[in-house]
Amino acid sequence: MALDLEMKQQNLCVNIERHTNLTTSQKSSIDEACQKVRKVLDAWFDSLHDFLPADAIQEAP
């Protein structure tokens, strides 16, 4: 069931990318947003040790 949903999600993303004609400006904007999200997630992960025990962080996938 979960694998089936994952495959459907991936197929949907591929179809959206295939049928979407982005301008250079739009693509640049999306890339910048992705970089910002990545930085925020990295900062969040780096701060986990402040409120989680080290064992819990090491067990994370």
Alpha carbons 25 and 6: distance in angstroms, whole number: 30
Alpha carbons 58 and 53: distance in angstroms, whole number: 9
Bigger pLDDT: 42 vs 1: 42
Residue extents of the structural domains in the chain: 22-61
User: Can you give the pLDDT at residue 60?
Assistant: 58
Band (pLDDT 50/70/90 cuts) for residue 59 is low
pLDDT digits (tens, 9 = 90+) for 6-51: 788 777 777 777 777 778 888 888 788 888 888 888 888 888 777 7
Q: What does pTM read for this prediction?
A: 0.49
Bigger pLDDT: 38 vs 1: 38
